[in-house]
Amino acid sequence: MTVHFPFQNSYSALPDSFFARVAPTPVSAPRLIKLNRPLAVQLGLDPDLLETPEGAEILAGKTVPAGADPIAMAYAGHQFGNFVPQLGDGRAILLGEVIDKSGLRRDIQLKGSGPTPFSRRGDGRAALGPVLREYIVSEAMFALGIPTTRSLAAVITGEPVIRETVLPGAVLTRVASSHIRVGTFQFFAVRRDTDAIRRLADHVIARHYPDLLHAERPYHALLAGVVARQAELVARWLLVGFIHGVMNTDNSSISGETIDYGPCAFMDAYNPAQVFSSIDEMGRYAYANQPRIALWNLTRLAECLLPLFGDEQEKAVAEAQDILGAFSETFSAAYQAGLRKKVGLFTERDGDEALIQDLLDAMAKNQADFTLTFRKLGDAAGDPAADDARAQFMDPAAFDDWAKRWHERTALEPQSAAVRQSAMHAVNPVFIPRNHRVEAVIQAAVNDDNYAPFEELVKVLATPYQDQPEYAAYADPPLPDQRVLQTFCGT
Ligand code: AMP
Ligand code: MG
């Protein structure tokens, strides 16, 4: 039996200017490292067949499955604020789209599958470390309930890639609602190709915002829809301590999924100015800057859509500004509601925002671990004697002052301690992909061909809100000598 992919491709039916047709470059000795079996089933694929040698060849780009229409997508983008008129998939090839079990169209893309016409000076390949990192972090985000691209598989190619050192090559199979980015619109805007912008917008509406098909002003509504999804997405990131690291417009998804896991990281100690990425020297993409950057990226999208807003330019600009103006309200509403849940408040009262901000300020000042403080606060909600949250603070007295106010505030609500605790535990994870764990897993794989640590980490992160006593150590922050200070894109 051969693996059957029920492809129904729509993007490759768009005009030729949207992509380049290109097949993956075959590799010598593909070996499957990891198959995401539940995701395979969700996509209508047979996981047993994907685990055969033939399956590995497909997932490595050595064999193109029947029905695939491999393309590299064209896009432009602002990288760290600088516009590049042509980027495109330089090392990723879209095999095609399938309709999943819930009726959603999903892209199946090989990342690291060889050069394309968009590769510029790159080799079109990916190293094993970044592939494992993307697998771990994207699946962790999914388990946390945050919109994200998924990882279907990781294979090693059997061929080396040359970075600063020689590393094992690998291919990640990425699954996304689509790979359409803000930069995809920019590609056509800079070429003043209004017809293409309209085609793309129509495709996006049908695919990601079908409710807007009959809107009175569909393109305005599209911008409003992307603004809302991005505002909610970034709020979700902040609520788990996630730092994307490269929020360039080409890494900003129109569907509202987290996309492009490069030097991304979760912070340990709470620090709003936290940056991990080695290339983010100015802190443009620092933790607390992410909402501002998302709005900046959306403003670039709005500029692309202006020609679809009508002939009167001033009016179009005013309308776009109005729509962009909703970002901060949507973001704040989502962020504040999320924070209230994190501290176990069921109702909204004057003073809540200040109460929560005071906690965050004390956490920053006391280098409290972001994840553990909130999780242990849930324990304290159930049992006031539980003092593990307190222990996160360099000066525990700073926590005591705050906790007194918090207990007074929660006492104004009728919910029992047990109800509050379980509500808090449902939103405050125990387990996040901590940098030092991710690094250790990558080292074991790259240096020792040992994937057991990777498997175990992936397993723990699949149920991040559940205490898993046998894996309790995975919840621990790094010891001083385990701290990872910088992350790299590894491209
Ligand atoms: P990224 O930093 O991953 O968002 O990538 C930015 C751009 O560089 C995209 O156009 C990528 O396709 C391209 N790129 C990144 N790594 C490679 C590589 N190894 N070979 C070719 N193109 C690459
Ligand atoms: Mg990218």
Does residue 43 fall inside a structural domain? yes
Residue 310 and residue 194 in contact, taking contact as beta carbons nearer than 8 Å:
no
- Do 476 and 328 sit in the same domain of this protein? no
- Do 305 and 356 sit in the same domain of this protein? no
Phi then psi for 153, rounded to 5 degrees? -165, 155
276, 309, 336: which is the final residue of a domain? 336
pLDDT the model gives residue 314: 97
- Give the single-character DSSP code of 423: H
Q: Give the list of residues 6+ apart from residue 45 with CB closer than 8 angstroms, or none.
A: 3, 4, 5, 98
Of all ligands present, the nearest one to the C-alpha of 124 is 1
Measure the CA–CA gap between 446 and 485, rounded to whole angstroms.
20
Closest residue to atom 6 of ligand 1, CA basis: 87
- Do 296 and 417 sit in the same domain of this protein? no
Tokens standing for 424?
């808090």
Domain count across the chain: 3
Active centre residues (catalytic): 250
pLDDT the model gives residue 384: 82
- Do 136 and 110 sit in the same domain of this protein? yes
Structural domain for 208, as ranges: 183-227+250-263+286-336
- Do 309 and 385 sit in the same domain of this protein? no
Q: Output the CA 124–ligand 1 centroid distance in Å.
A: 8
User: 19, 91, 131, 246: which to mutate for ligand 1, most atoms within 8 A of CB?
Assistant: 91
pLDDT the model gives residue 53: 96
Does residue 411 fall inside a structural domain? yes
178, 203, 218: which is the final residue of a domain? 178
- Do 293 and 442 sit in the same domain of this protein? no
Does residue 69 fall inside a structural domain? yes
pLDDT the model gives residue 291: 98
- Do 118 and 171 sit in the same domain of this protein? yes
Binding residues: 88, 90-91, 111, 123-124, 174, 181, 251, 260
- Do 306 and 435 sit in the same domain of this protein? no
Does residue 235 fall inside a structural domain? no
Residue with tokens 């047979």: 46
Residue 230 and residue 329 in contact, taking contact as beta carbons nearer than 8 Å:
no
Distance (Å) of CA 21 to CA 9, 16, 265 = 13, 9, 34
Does residue 403 fall inside a structural domain? yes
Does residue 268 fall inside a structural domain? no
Does residue 275 fall inside a structural domain? no
Ligand 1 binding pocket includes 88 (Cβ within 6 Å): yes
Does residue 452 fall inside a structural domain? yes
Q: Output the CA 251–ligand 1 centroid distance in Å.
A: 11
- Do 170 and 220 sit in the same domain of this protein? no
- Do 163 and 190 sit in the same domain of this protein? no
For residue 268, the SS3 value is: coil
Ligand 1 binding pocket includes 123 (Cβ within 6 Å): yes
336, 370, 395: which is the final residue of a domain? 336
From first to last of its 491 residues, the chain has per-residue pLDDT tens of: 789 999 999 999 999 999 999 999 999 999 999 999 999 999 999 999 999 999 999 999 999 999 999 999 999 999 999 999 999 999 999 999 999 999 999 999 999 999 999 999 999 999 999 999 999 999 999 999 999 999 999 999 999 999 999 999 999 999 999 999 999 999 999 999 999 999 999 999 999 999 999 999 999 999 999 999 999 999 999 999 999 999 999 999 999 999 999 999 999 999 999 999 999 999 999 999 999 999 999 999 999 999 999 999 999 999 999 999 999 999 999 999 999 999 999 999 999 999 999 999 999 999 999 999 999 999 999 888 888 999 999 999 999 999 999 999 999 999 999 999 999 999 999 999 999 999 999 999 999 999 999 999 999 999 999 999 999 999 999 999 999 989 888 77
- Do 193 and 302 sit in the same domain of this protein? yes
- Do 68 and 157 sit in the same domain of this protein? yes
Binding residues for Mg(2+): 251, 260
Q: Give the list of residues 6+ apart from residue 282 with CB closer than 8 angstroms, or none.
A: 80
